[in-house]
Amino acid sequence: MPEQGLLDVLRRSGGLAAVSRQLEITPPLALAAASALLPLVRGGFRRRVEKADSLGTGLTELLVWLEGLGGGSLAGAVLQSDAVSPDAGQTILADIFGPQLTRAVVAEAAVQSKVTPATVQQVLPLLAMLAGGYVAARAGRMSAADRLAELGPLLDLEGQPNPLDALSGIADH
């Protein structure tokens, strides 16, 4: 359910339409790829948070890191009409997945969505930018006390199991 909440936000905000426009793919393809990828991206953010001593500390570290990458402007870059560079998205992916897990994420999402791996590979960094930018922007409007209560469920910080755990044969990085 939380990924549906985030997916709905990205859809309503025009984020998925922007991905479609940026990559020159149909909106249904962008939606299919994003629907399969978003739980895995959230799982990557969750793993990053869980590396800290506590969820509160981990969430704060995630938000500081996202701010360092551009914060809410990550999403804004995808939403703009000019072509976007996926570099910030690639940086996010390198940190939350690493190269081996990124390949497994793309392969799994391609199977689930029935979208070609090449298209899924293109959607992934833009989706990471949208999700990270949204989380960072939303956190910026909250008190520190409200962040864990609000963003924890959005990132499924206490959900079990993490969808990344289902990707067999992939070691944690």
What torsion do the CA atoms of 154, 20, 133, 140 make, to the nearest 10 degrees? Answer: -80
Residue 127 to residue 8: CA distance in whole angstroms: 13
Q: What is the mean pLDDT of the chain?
A: 89
pLDDT tens sequence across 45-79: 999 999 998 888 999 999 999 999 999 999 999 99
Q: Residue 64 class from Cβ within 10 Å (0-12 exposed, 13-18 middle, 19+ buried)? A: exposed
| pLDDT of res. 141 | 75
User: Token digits for 132?
Assistant: 């990270």
Residue 41 to residue 97: CA distance in whole angstroms: 9
Question: Is residue 172 scored above 70 in pLDDT?
Answer: no
pTM over 0.85: yes
Residue with more model confidence, 151 or 36: 36
| pLDDT of res. 168 | 55
Q: Which amino acid is at 155?
A: L
Q: Write 89-94 long-range contacts (CB < 8 A, 24+).
A: 89/124, 89/125, 89/126, 89/127, 89/128, 89/129, 90/125, 92/125, 92/128, 92/129, 92/132, 93/44, 93/124, 93/125, 93/128
CB atoms within 10 A of CB 21: 16
